[in-house]
Chain A
Amino acid sequence: KAGVTQTPRYLIKTRGQQVTLSCSPISGHRSVSWYQQTPGQGLQFLFEYFSETQRNKGNFPGRFSGRQFSNSRSEMNVSTLELGDSALYLCASSFRVSGGPDTQYFGPGTRLTVL
């Protein structure tokens, strides 16, 4: 099976712009989670989508939003970019084995630089 793919891999934007990142989960996975990774902060949970519905949301401002399509592909949008939004944005897809934990499989990430 192909792994989680994220596009683009690298992005450079300027303050005030908006950006859309894309994630294609592993075939058959219906849950997609997004994380922001920065040095010293580790992985911070943004939100999780399951069957096109946002199921969980982390403590990020409303400038961060996402959606999931019927084929489980997901997009994340950040509006009015700030310098502090520079980070590696990771997408993880998962499926749950009945009664077991949710095993997350991560993509390689999109490196966003805000100038």
Chain B
Amino acid sequence: QQQVKQSPQSLIVQKGGISIINCAYENTAFDYFPWYQQFPGKGPALLIAIRPDVSEKKEGRFTISFNKSAKQFSLHIMDSQPGDSATYFCAASMWTGNQFYFGTGTSLTVIP
């Protein structure tokens, strides 16, 4: 059973547009939600993370929005650039846990 559900599976966005990736979770014990970015031939790298005590976290062009009541969180990439083309994974764990549950990934393509 997939603990974290991610959509869409793939996304094509024009340069300068906004990319939005959504995730949903079931386990209310999760309280740490990181996003990872993976380029071809590389392992995933931590991009940005959020805890449920805030509804939004922004780092540069990347923003996580969090809806605790709906058990959903999303990644917004503003002013998307071709260099953002990668696979993005959402994940969930407990703050003091050491097991992460990953979504199935979203392949983002930003067209120049």
Contact = CB atoms under 8 A, between A and B. Distances in A.
Interface in B53-101: 89, 91, 93, 95-101
A102 B9 CA distance: 27
B44 interface: yes
A83 interface: no
Interface stretch (A39-47, A62-70, A72-80): A39-47
B19 interface: no
A43 B87 CA distance: 12
Interface in B20-76: 32, 34, 36, 41-46, 49
Interface residues of B, number: 26
A55 B34 CA distance: 21
Contacts of A107: 43
A45 B44 contact: no
B6 interface: yes
Contacts of A42: 6, 89, 102-105
Interface pairs A-B: 9 shortest CB-CB? A106-B43, A42-B104, A43-B102, A56-B99, A101-B32, A102-B98, A42-B102, A42-B105, A106-B44
19 contacts: A33-B98, A33-B99, A40-B9, A40-B104, A42-B104, A43-B89, A43-B100, A44-B102, A45-B99, A50-B98, A56-B99, A96-B98, A101-B93, A102-B98, A106-B43, A108-B41, A108-B42, A108-B43, A109-B43
